[in-house]
Structures are given as structure tokens and as C-alpha cells.
Structure 1
Amino acid sequence: MDLTGEAVQIAAVDGLPGGQVSQPAAVPANDAYTARLHTSLEAVRPLWLRFQADGVCTAHQHFAWVEGIVARLMPAGAEALIVEVNNAVTGAPLMLVPLMLRPAFRHRVIEWLSCGVCDYSAPLLADASAWTAQSAQAAWAAVRSVLPPADRVHITGIPRRIDGVANPLALLAATRDSMQTTYGLAIDGDPETVLKRLCRPSFVKEFGKDWRRLERLGGLEFVEADTPALVELIFDGLVRMRLNRFREMGRFDLLTQEPVVDFYRKAALQGLSDGSVRLFGLRVGEALIAAQYLVVHQGTVHALLIAIDQNAVPNVSPGLLIMGRLIGWARERRFDCFDLSVGNQGYKGHMGAKGSVLAELRQGVTMRGSVAGAAIEFRNRAEAFVRSNPRLLKAAQGLMRGLRRLRGGSSEPQ
């Protein structure tokens, strides 16, 4: 299947500097874009950093974040594919699309350069110029014209907009709503009253009651990890609390994988110098009862990883407490959007966050890729059905706990 649309091959690019590969440029008959393929982050570092600073992107596409993905998380046999899209008339760069090619079960798939640690798939744009369905389709045709052969394309986590600008990926004719929903709060005004003004009254009431209860216990402290030692301390507590809780719920978590833990740890330490990653803890005395891992870009705070010790203080919701406190912190620093990330967890609606359905792009290029894509779609829908049925979900979680006990011995690991 030819997915390049009406792209017309017009030139060959030879002798490209900085690790770029020789690839034909392309211009679609209905618009004027060329594309160049890079297989090295270093080849596009200056352009990437310019788009990051002066253009439109999300924190999930920060250069340091993606650099860590390539260094620590790329699966065996995978290859980074960064496509630079340019104006064919002026040569001006307009967009960077970070993808990767990896081997899957008996086929090859092109995905977003994420490896599970990017909630959102959004290209880096040169500026806030508007995209239309026609221009997005033409630009995507140029992208496809320089990509290597693969059996399928599967890009998930596509937000409809990037900082107010239409995401070109979301405008493609082949893009469809996914089963993922993301939640967020627009925050403005006085930080002292932000919760009362913008969150649900029930959340505000519960937050105030629980906060006062912890204050009466003494030693309540909201801590930002602003030194390497504090980063290590709070991050270790986050991993411990998160794995314990996910084990209790019979759920898998990426933090069971050492390379992923190493990636998040290194990114948090990097954040001490560039401010792109922030780590917070909520302590009562010496006990860490909640931790939150954030990434930030321009006016948006993205809450990525939250971990709690639900048993530390009975009848208190430490997750809601640290989240509420962080909304105030974000507004104090003039952030105007608090992103609660992907997932339908009940606390998000309880806070008053608004949901938005993410999109995905699934294209079978070969018959093998189409069959593999259909099988994956069936599995995802079956999993979603189980999660939407409390009885089935409880049974599945019980089965997973039983399997873990069999693997680890007669009792749950402590």
C-alpha cells in the first residue's frame, strides 16, 4: 500500500552533515513540503532546541527527555527516525516528527519515539501558524516518503491541540479517537483561592479537612526536591510506594523495569539544572506519604507519576493532598494549565478536571502489518472491557496476584 499520497519524488540529498542519511525529498502535488530523514538526535539538536524554545511543543518532546529515551530505553534493533519537514519554496523548517522503527513479532512497526514514557505524541512546530486538514495531509505524505519500509504505522497518545495550536497528526484523515482520555485544569487568578474557585466543592472540602488533620499530627511538610540528595530520597520513596500499591492492585507498572527507573531518575537530576522536571514529596514527620513527578514546559505543568502510602495515615487521601498543593504551587509560578495526564482515575473528575479524548493513527502498510494491527486492537478492546467491568477486573487482578505468588514463593513480597 502506498501511503505517501500524491508525493512526487523530486531530488536526492547527498553528503548530508551531522549523521543525516541520504533520502529523496518530496513535494506533494497539493501542497509544498519537503522532508529530510535524520537518524541521529545530534543532527537536529540546534533546530530542535530552537523549536523547543521559540516554537510549539510539549514537555514530552523536550530534547533532554528524548535524548534520555534514545540513550536508555530504545529496544534492541530499534532505530530513531527524526523527520524534518520544510517549506519546499523557501526551505524554511516547519516541523520535526520524532519516530522510531522497531522490530515487533514477525514484523516491523513505526511508532512515536516514546518507549512508554511520553503521554503525548506531538510534533515540534516552528511557530503557532495554523494547520489545516489539507496541509497536515500533505506534510504527512512528505514524512512518509522518506521513512524506511515497515509493515505498519501505529502512533498513540495524539492530543488534538498543542498549546492551543491544532496538532497536524490529529488532522489526518486516518486518525481516529482512541480509548485514552487525558484530563486537565485551566488555572488562573489568585494562587490563594485557585482551589476554591476552580475545583469541585466536594474536593475543596475534603482537601481542607485532610490537610488540617495532618497538621494536627505535627511535622507536615510539602517538599520540593531541590538538591541531588532530596531527588534521590523522594524518587526512591516514589518507586517504593508505587510498586507496593500496584502490586496490591494486581497491576503492571513500567517502574518494575530498571532501565525505566534509571531514565526517570536521571531526568529528575537533570531537572535540577534546566527546570524541566520537578519532584515533590509530602511528609508527616519522617514518613513520606505521597510523591509526585512533574514535567513542565512554558505555561503547562504535566503531572506524570504519583505514588502514595495509603496506610500511613488512616482516612486521609495523600494523593489528593499533594495534588491540591501542587495546583497552588503551579499557580504561584504563573503556570496556566495543570495537566493530570492520561487515565480515567476517579480522583481527576472529583477534582473537577476536564477530559479530552486522545487520538491514534493506525495504518497497515503490508498484509502482515494489517493482521498484527487488528490483533493488537482486539487485545486492547478486550482489556478495556475487562477494566470497565468491576467483577471481571477484580477476578483478573486476583489471578495476577496469584501468579506473582507462584513465581515468588508462598507469600507476597514485602
Structure 2
Amino acid sequence: MAVQAVQIAAVTGSPDGQSSHPATVVAIDAYTARLHTSLEAVRPLWLRLQADGVCTAHQNYAWAEGIVARLMPEGAELLIVEVNDAVTGAPRMLVPLIRRPAFRHRVIEWLSCGVCDYSAPLLADASPWTMQSAQAAWAAVRSVLPPADRIQITGIPQSISGVANPLALLAATRDSLHTSFGLAIDGDPETVLKRLCRPSFVKAFNKDWRRLERLGDVELVEANTPALVEVIFGGLVRMRLSRFRELGRFDLLTQATAVDFYRNAALEGLSDGSVRLFGLRVGEALIAVQYLLIHQVTVHALLISIDQGAVPNVSPGLLIMGKLMSWARGRGFDYFDLSVGNQSYKEHMGAVGSGLRELCHGITVRGSAVSAAIEVRNRTEVFVRSKPRLLKRLQGLMRDLRRLRGGSE
């Protein structure tokens, strides 16, 4: 495999938009790879691929900008790799990564910081990828990355809007323990639930909706002003933290930086429509909130929170999702993504699962040892979650520990 590397010095804010640090351009067979260490350096190309190419909402530029500004851990470095055709120089994809310090080692991972369900490069177009072309492109990417002890990229979807994800084709990539779920939606918005969801779900939805209507006016409210964003997002945080404490589970929204990130993204979404926030109200009571990401024809149901005790024998979460499926179809969207996780309600709705992939391996001896330990931990967690009695006992223990640490909590 022929390799040629050239160091190129660049200046921030220059007309060609290059990195503020020297960038390495490496040619490997059919591809060249160029490393950038700032978002500004690739902003024009990123926005072009976002608009005209293939990517997920989790790789929206504004979303990535928020991650870099608000969530990057101390000591982390941004690594954005631009992959081009070696013959024509045309862009093929952007791969957004970070390198961060971990316990006595360094790891390269996706630019996610816990807020991206999916790890997928931004592709220039819908041209098909093969195992050979993906492997060659990844070899070019690896050639410009700085030293690290291990690589950990999780949440790799097998395809991006119908195009094979090059990361999922790599020989080193393996099946993940996680699955994503979604529903293709089409036809009349008014009948989308009846036509596409399971009859048992439709029956339960209609029954619960009638119960709500007997209690007062029921309204699906979109947070379309800054004031409504603050109110509805505040309800999301409050209900979600209360629910997760009850279940004895950790939630990212216990961290102030994450709350700040999601709130800011929702406010920015008022102008570009990339983030939408909805609340379900009965009278003046907010009983459910759904946080959505939007990209092209896909709606991603990202965060949901419910007040389970507000209305007895009613599932507010399923009600708001059902209403939002009709809303999404009415605005021309054709896929409703229910995100990652094997929660039973997804299959109850009739959603179709798709296994995710992951690229997790050591580069050094230390990195290999850490990767092996993480694999054992992950499989242990899956085992525990498959045993309801054991899971319930551990959740109770976690609740007791939180009460001891937090007093009334």
C-alpha cells in the first residue's frame, strides 16, 4: 500500500478555511486524509456535506458546535479528518473525532460526549461503499491521527439514509450489544398510527387519549418561542430526573453542562428547525415532554420525560410519541427514529430494530487491557438487565446509596 505524507502549515481565518495548526495530508491508495483541529477549519465543507450529502442529525454542525463549546472534557483535543479522492481531490467524507485523556492512557472516540446516539461520518453523496473502499479510507484516517492507546467508537449504524456506513464495513468493527428502533411513516397523517402501528398499541393509545380528554383540554404544545422552550425544557429536566431517581438509574441531565447543552440547542433550533421540543398538556398540567432532532426526512425522538403519576392508568410517553408521529408525517417526514435501547414500548408500537456496530480495540498493551475490561463490564451490565429480580435489587441499592449521600434524595 503506497503512502505519501506532506506537512502543510495553515492559518486560522485564512481564505481557504484551513486549520490553525499544521495539518497532515496523507495519500493512501485511492484516498487522501487531512487532519483538522478546529471546527472553523471545516465549516464550509461540513455545511455543504450536511446539506447535499448524507449524514444523521447527530452530525449536524450546530449540534457538533455545541458539543465542542460546552461538553468537551478537560484535556480533550478535536480531531476532524477530511477524506478526499486521491485522483480528483473531491471530498468523500468528514470523520469527527476527539482524543481525550482517560485513566493513565489516551483514547480516540467519536465527537459525541454522550449526546450522539449515532456515530456516522458525513458522506459527500450516496455513492456506495464496499469493504475494500471503507478499509482504504479508514487506513488514510488512521495515518493522520495522533498517537493513542485505544480507539472506542460506539453507536455505529449499519447505514446512513440507505447508504452503507463505511465505519460499519470495517473488518475490526463488531456487533454492538445495542439496537436502534424506528418506523418508516407514509400516507395520510391522520391514519398513520392505525396503518403502521400494532393494533394493540392503537387500541391502548385511543383508550388513554379518551381518558385524558375526560379530565380537560388536551394539547400538544410546540415550544416555538424562547419562553416556551424554557418552560417545557424545565419540565423535561424536572420529570426526567425524578423518574430516573425512582428507577435508580443515572441520567446525563444530572450534569449541569449537559442541561446547558440541550437547552441551548433547543433555543438555537428555533431558527434552523434542527431541534424541536414538544409538551403534552392536560389543562395546565404538563404530563410529557419530547425532545426531537430533525434532519432532512428523519425525525429522531431523542429525550423523553413523563409524569407517570399525573394521570393514573395512562401512558403519557406513548401518547406524546403517537401524536408526534402524526405531526411528523403531516410535515412530510418519512422516518421516525425511536433512538437506541431495547425498551418494550418500541416493539409495542411496531418499531423495527436494527443492530448497531462498534469499533473498540487497543493500540498499545495498556489500551488493549482497558478495552478488554470495558467489554467485560458491558456484558455484565447486559446480563444484569436480563435478570429482572437482580436488576430490581441493584436499583434499590442505588436508591438507598443516593439517599445516604443526598439526605432527602
TM-score range, shorter chain: over 0.9
2:27 corresponds to: 27
Residue 353 of structure 2 is matched in structure 1 by 355
Determine the structure 2 residue equivalent to 1:275.
273
Let me know the Cα RMSD of the aligned residues: 1.0
Q: Which residue of 1 aligns with 2:306?
A: 308
Counterpart selection for 2:89 from 88, 91, 99:
91
Compute the TM-score of the two structures, normalised by the length of structure 2. Answer: 0.97
Which of 6, 23, 36 is the equivalent residue of 1:11? 6
Correspondence 1:92-241 to 2 at 5 A: 92-241=90-239
The answer to whether residue 45 in structure 2 is matched with residue 44 in structure 1 is: no
| TM-score, with length taken from structure 1 | 0.96
Q: Deviations over 1:228-285 (max 9, x none)?
A: 0111000000000000000000000000000000000000000000000000000111
**Which blocks of at least 5 consecutive residues in structure 2 are unaligned?**
none
Q: Distance in 1 between matches of 2:121 and 2:177?
A: 21
| 1:347-379 C-alpha deviation (Å, 9 max, x unpaired) | 000000000110000121100000011011111
Q: Distance in 2 between matches of 1:73 and 1:23?
A: 24
In the alignment, is the contact (CA less than 8 A) between 1:7 and 1:141 conserved in 2? no
**Identical-residue share of aligned pairs (%):** 78
**Deviating runs (4+, > 3 A) in structure 1?**
14-18
Partners of 2:34 and 2:25 in 1: CA distance: 6
- Report what 2:260 is aligned to: 262
Aligned to 1:332: 330
Determine if contact 1:152/1:369 at 8 Å carries over to the other structure. yes
For 1:267, give the aligned amino acid: A
For 1:56, what is the secondary structure of its paired residue? coil
Gaps of 5+ in 1: 1-5
Counterpart of 1:11, as a letter, is V
Match of 2:385 in 1: 387
Distance of 1:305 and 1:24 partners within structure 2: 38
Among residues 394, 401, 404, which one is paired with 1:403 in the alignment?
Answer: 401
Preserved contact between residue 25 and residue 35 of structure 2 (Cα < 8 Å): no
Residue identity in the other structure for 2:41: A
- Retained in 2: the 8 A contact 1:170–1:359? yes
SS of 1:75's partner is coil
Deviations 1:111-160 (A, max 9, x none): 00000000000000111111110000000000000000000011000000
Give yes or no for contact 2:130–2:169 (8 Å, CA) kept in 1. yes
SS of the residue corresponding to residue 304 of structure 1 reads: strand
Instruction: Please state how far the C-alpha of 1:24 moved relative to its aligned partner.
Output: 3.5
Q: 1:345 to 1:58 in 2, by over 3 A?
A: same
Q: 293, 296, 311: which one pairs with 1:295?
A: 293
Rounded Cα–Cα distance in structure 2 between residues aligned with 1:90 and 1:197: 47
- Matching residue's letter, 2:22: S
